[in-house]
Structures are given as C-alpha cells and as structure tokens.
Structure 1
Amino acid sequence: MMPLVWFAAREPRRSVLWAVLGSMVVILTPFIAGISAGDRVTELARLLVGVLVYTALALVVNELSRQYAAQLRLSEEREAVVRTEITRAAEVQRSLLPGALADTPGYALAGTCLPSTTVGGDFFDWYRTDDGVAMTLGDVMGKGVGAGLIAAAVRATVRSSRRDPDPGAAIVRASEGLATDLADGPDSVVFTTLFHARLRGDVLHWADAGHGLTVVVREDGGAERLSTPDLPIGLGLGLHDAWETRTTALCPGDLVVCFSDGVLDLFGGGLDSVEHVAALARRDPRPSSVVDALADLARELGHDDDVTVVALRREPVAAPVAGDVLAPVAVAAPTAP
C-alpha cells in the first residue's frame, strides 16, 4: 500500500500508471509461482477488483498531490509579489529621507532611520526655511507598510506647512490630515507622536505631539528635555488647535537630539535613557557622531522597534579674518540604514 501511495503522490499523471502496474505485479505473483487451475479464476477476479480499487486510490492521491502542488506554486508566486512590493515600498521610504542641506552656515544636522522590518513607521525630515532650518521626527504606531504609508502622509503634510512659521500650526494640519471618523470603530485609530521645530537665530520654536523624546544638550554640559502634555495626533478625539508652540534658547554650541522610542530599548526602556543620549552628546557634540554612535549601538544590540535619530547643532560662526572667505558649516547627510 505504501509504495502505491508514494508513486501516486508524484505530480505527473503517469505516476498513476506506475502505481497500478506495481499493484498488478504484486497480485500476479501467485500466477508466476504457480497455482492450480481452480484457483486461477478466483485470482483473476481478485486481480480485477484490486486493479480497480488501487487505480481509484492512485487517482485520488495523485489529484490531491497535484492540487497541493498548484496551491504551493500559487502561494510562492503571491509571496514573491508581496516581497517585491515591500521592497519597492522600502525604496520609496528611503527616497523620502532628506538630503544634505547646502549653504547653511551656522547649522549642522545628521539623522538616521533604522526600521525593525523592511518598512518602518518612523520618519525624520529637515529643510531650509526663510530664516533658518526646520526639523521633524515622527513615530507611527505599529510597523510595516501600513505604518510606513501613514508616516509618508504625515511627513508630506508637515512639510507642506514650511511657509507657516508656527510649528504648532503644522502639527494641527497633520492632525487634520489624520482625522478619524469614530464611527469606524476603535480599530481604525492609528496615532502618531510627532516633534516639529524651527530654529530661527538663537531661538528654537517647537511643538510636541505626545513624543517627549527630545533633549537639548548645552555647550556647558547641561541638558534639558523638551516635553509637553500635548497628545499624539490621529487619536480621533476631535482635537483642534491642541498643540502649542514653545520656545527654547539655542545658543551657539548647543545641540538638539530627537529620537524615537526604539532608542529607549537600547538603554533598558526607561526615560532615564534620555540621560544616556545626553551623555553620548557630551562626549562628542557633533550631530554626525551622536547619530552614528546610536546607530552602531542599535546594530550591535539588535532592535525590535524602529530606531530613528535626528540631531541639530547651532554652530558658532566665526568672524572672517581679513582676506579670508567664510566657508559654510558642513552638514551631514542622513545615515543609510
């Protein structure tokens, strides 16, 4: 019986023929060994019945095998399509990372985004404004393509507010873009924590929507965490104008580091991780050094959550010496994941 099933389970239809022929050989063995004439009729009847039964069994096993193989091929094809789409989504997401800022004397920036999966829910951004620079970091609840799509939408909405000098207004606009109809049920609520700031001269204008993971490391070594009681966006609570813009002095030599909650996991998961980040910045206040140190730590330890960091430093601009030309401060490009 087992050889019959093994032969019939092979996908080609001719496997059924081999299985039936094998069964006939087994049944015809008594004829080869020699039997009496009276028993031949009985054995022939048994042969006929056996061939019919085993043929039916072989056909059933073969058909089930063929159907399983077809389903397996279909599943593999669908999986290949999904993988291709996810890879393309990741490429699009990476293309949305900001490029290096040129001709911005007095500022230095660096950033990185290390998704825990192919497509992540974190993002960061920066761009020039009429009177300085702006920076943004957002963290969408969840992971994968869905979170990545929301992250791209929030980033685009915030960036569309670049002519509005009020960071709080940009967050309000992003919140309106994620407005959720509560009739859709609680499963439709996907919130995003967001930090958005604009640096004008020595004043940092900033707004925080439930993020709370930004620290200013002063040139003298002091540290100040920037946080508010304001809620994340996308909660579907009908909030309007609920995000206030605040200001913080940012003198030459001061550094702003904003990061996602994936960085907390690198230091144990508690809010005391903010002090660990500040300690890294004290050792080397260059934005690129802080970002690289956290990225290297994430790669070394592994991370189950997206790890995103953006750092902005107000660089002192030295007065040009007679006969010299003042060169712009080099600005670091985003670190590739």
Structure 2
Amino acid sequence: MPDTQTPEPLLTSLAHGGGCGCKLAPNVLADILSEMPLALGSSDLIVDAATSDDAAVYRVNETTALVATTDFFTPIVDDPHTFGRIAATNALSDVFAMGARPIFSLAIVGMPIGKISNETIRAILAGGQSVAETAGAPIAGGHSIDAAEPIYGLVALGLVHPDKLLLNSGARAGDVLILGKPLGVGIYSAALKRGIIEDADYAEMIASTTRLNTPGTDLAGMAGVHAATDVTGFGLLGHLSEMCRGAGLTGVVEADRVPVFDGARRLAEAGVKTGASGRNWDSVRTSVTVQRPLSAPELDILCDPQTSGGLLVSCSAEAAESVLATFERHGHTGAAVIGRMETGVSGVTVV
C-alpha cells in the first residue's frame, strides 16, 4: 500500500484522459467495428448497436422492455467521492435517455492498487452508490481488477413500456431540438487538470455532472416527443449527427442559442480545450455544414466532450413548452431550444 507519510497522487494525474473525453473517437470506433455485425437480427432484441443508440433494449413481454447499458471512465476530478458520483450519474444517463426507469446496477472497478489507498477506493464506490440509490438503481454487485489507471462506472438496467421507448432515430421533420444542460464540461475538466479552474466554475461543473437526467423517464410517452439521446463524449455535433443519421434528416443548430457555461466560454476564448474536441470535429466534419463563420473557441464548444451531459430531445413545436417545463421541474434550469430538424441530406447544419 502507499506510504502513509507520502501524499497520494491526485486521481486525475493517474489518467491520460478524464471522463467521457477518454472515449475512442467516433471515426476510430467506426473503423474498429466496421467488420462486425451491429444488427443482430433477434426479434426480441428491439434495439441493438445498429443505430448507435444509448442502450440495448430487450422486449420481455408486450408491456415491458429491459434497457441495458454500461459506461465507465477515468477520473475527471480529484475528489474520490465526487468522481464516483459523476461516473454513476453518467452511466445512469443512458437509461434515462431511453425513457426508462432504472431498477438496479452493477459496478465496474479498475484501480491501481499500491498507488492509491483502500480508503480512496471506498470513497469512489460510496459516491457511486449514493447516486445509484437516489436514482432507484442500487448497486447489486460488480467486478473489480487491478488496473494501471483508476476506472469506475456502472452497468445500468431499467424498465420501460416498449411503446414508450425514446430512440435516437425517431426525430421527425419540423421538430425542434432541446438541449437539457449547458455545454462546457470538457473545457472545465481541462482547466481543472491545468490547475486554472475557478472555484465557482468547479462548483458549476460538479452540479451539472451530478444532476441525474431524470426528465427522460417523464418524457417517455409524452405526446410530441419523438427522439432523445444524451450528449456525452462525442460532443453536441457528434451525438446530433447520430440522431440525424438514424432519422435520415438534417439537424439545424442555431449556434447562438446553444447554452454554454459562462466560465467555459471564457476559458475556451483563452485557448483552453480538450484533445478530444479536435478528434470529435475530425470525425464529423464531412457531415457538418457551417453556414456562418465560427471562431475556433465556438467550434471547440460545439465539439466539447461532455461528461454526464444533458439530454438532447427532438419534439414537435407544440410539445416544446411542455418539454421545457419537464426539464424545469427536474431542476434542469439551463434547458433551451437550440435548433430544429429538417428534411434533407442526413447531417448537421450550423447557422
């Protein structure tokens, strides 16, 4: 175990990346999976990997479907309890993005034994457990390994009526796009790693990344709500591109209407960004049309990898007020209309 006289290393110093910023770039992942079957052809497996949705879904019977997903990553913050909370919130987000109600979860744990103490590891697990219990998905078990970097996350399971599933492919032409949380978490995490984040900005980052995407459950089955996904490691443009590809539509983003944390915007204008934002742009640039000049910081924000980011909802214009009210009721005060879905070539247009 570590020498008790020597301070433990900071959690973020033990990881080459942090949070969802350490995800494989979309184009790299696509190449790796290019020779693997994504559509599995099972009649009861009603959502598989073919549409890059947030979770797999298995039909149990006519009224019940099981939603299954997993998510884990390396530390985005140094406080172990907070790291656990963020990782659990992020993993459960995929269940909410499908419109489901979480029921239980399993822990995924990889820790560098000998570099951090058992006490630190216990704090990570306790943070995750506290969020899982709040969400109604207690951690019932899991698996652990001795790893070179700290890794934590969950397998998350939920239930939903098959007719109320929120898919990322169900958007319709004429829908408006609503984003549930402001962008900028990746920029904040980069500033944290460089030791230049301000206390107020750190508090804002933690509040956002530990806020469960519970509006998703209420949005399921709501009239006029057609599609949803959560914005995480691929950034807004990456996850909206997946939504557009699934629906065969063009997503129009009004850049000036996209909510962004003030501190993150300030940091972006000072040149702070993650390495993942550039990789995200390289992955989507052929399917994104930019109709007005975007500064480098503006583009970085639109491609900024979000950890435990907000839901992106496609709904009819008539339902928009109800959707925004649902977000507000769940404490997501930063939700905003950011654009629309139109007929046209599958892809994203930024105006």
Give the TM-score band, short-chain normalised: under 0.3
The TM-score, its normalising length taken from structure 1, stands at 0.27
Which protein shows a greater Rg?
1
Normalization by structure 2: what TM-score?
A: 0.27
Structure scoring higher RCO (CA < 8 A, sep ≥ 6) equals 2
Higher helix share: 1
